[in-house]
């Protein structure tokens, strides 16, 4: 009698198959029923769920995640980067009485002026050096970083200025921030590119004609250089000649940008 009380309910293969199928189907049916109950009565706005509407809703979050949106300023350059792209044209060789990089004798008297004193000279310009080294797009902080980098290479102990907080990005003085919706401006011609390169790099020497650089707009100064043709001028600008370092000291410039700057200067004397 005791053995019969524990007898299995599944006595045939067919019953076993039915039990296995129910074991799979019952949970699935329950899940479907629960999902229907959860969504019943909900009104779905098809327009609100369109790709355009969804994109519009997530745009603020996406902008904040990718580059910080309109409030994200361009990455501030280090003192070394500013030196290599702007200051090296004169300070690498010491042309036009510029204190040569790493020369303690040249920098000694200037270091005594203090960090803030040197910064004001770099911002306003002094002697043959134009304001901000000729790169008007540099922020005050970037200029100060370059000053600190060069002075410290000659023995100063100046303190590297800290970057501003994310809520107050640095901007060049006198400039206005572009609206968030404004598209990035694109240079329409090589002449516009050349003007930009000239004003950020070449003006340091060609603006005043220091170190025998042909002065911008001076036809007489450019005549001897034009005798060998434009291609010769391109090569001189790319490889460097006399006191002028390769690419005007800004090694980040492409061949096209260097040539555009040469074209821009030649246009002023033709």
Report all structural domains of the chain as residue ranges with CATH numbers, in order of start: 79-153 (1.10.760.10), 190-267 (1.10.760.10)
Q: What is the pTM of this model?
A: 0.48
pLDDT of residue 173: 53
The rounded radius of gyration (Å) of the Cα atoms in the chain is: 34
For residue 115, how many C-alpha atoms fall within 13 Å in the half-sphere facing its CB? 16
Residues 6+ apart with CB under 8 A from 228: none
CB 95 within 8 A of CB 176: no
CB 173 within 8 A of CB 76: no
pLDDT of residue 177: 45
pLDDT of residue 105: 93
pLDDT of residue 190: 44
pLDDT of residue 41: 52
Residue ranges, the chain, pLDDT below 70:
1-10, 37-74, 166-192
pLDDT of residue 49: 57
pLDDT of residue 179: 44
pLDDT of residue 47: 60
Phi-psi category of 245—alpha, beta or left, where left has phi over 0 and alpha has psi -120 to 50?
A: beta
């Amino acid at each position: 009698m005791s053995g019969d009380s524990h007898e299995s309910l599944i006595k045939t293969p067919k019953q076993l198959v039915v039990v296995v199928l129910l074991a799979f189907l019952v949970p699935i049916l329950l899940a479907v029923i629960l999902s229907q109950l959860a969504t019943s009565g909900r009104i779905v706005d098809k327009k609100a769920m369109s790709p355009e509407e969804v994109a519009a809703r997530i745009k603020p979050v996406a902008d904040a995640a990718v580059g910080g949106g309109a409030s994200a300023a361009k990455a501030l350059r280090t003192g070394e980067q500013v030196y290599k792209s702007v200051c090296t044209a004169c300070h690498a060789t010491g042309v036009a009485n510029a204190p040569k990089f790493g020369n303690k004798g040249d920098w000694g008297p200037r270091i005594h002026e203090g960090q803030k004193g040197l910064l004001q000279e770099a911002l306003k310009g002094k002697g043959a050096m134009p304001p901000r080294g000729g790169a008007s797009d540099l922020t005050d902080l970037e200029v100060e970083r370059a000053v600190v980098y060069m002075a410290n290479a000659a023995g100063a102990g100046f303190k590297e200025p800290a970057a501003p907080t994310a809520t107050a990005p640095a901007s060049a003085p006198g400039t206005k921030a572009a609206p968030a919706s404004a598209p990035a401006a694109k240079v329409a011609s090589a002449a516009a590119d050349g003007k930009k390169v000239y004003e950020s790099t070449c003006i340091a020497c060609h603006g005043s004609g220091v170190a025998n650089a042909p002065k911008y707009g001076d036809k007489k100064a450019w005549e001897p250089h034009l005798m060998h043709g434009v291609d010769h001028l391109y090569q001189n600008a790319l490889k460097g000649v006399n006191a002028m370092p390769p690419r005007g000291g800004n090694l980040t410039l492409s061949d096209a940008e260097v040539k555009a700057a040469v074209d821009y200067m030649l246009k002023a004397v033709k």
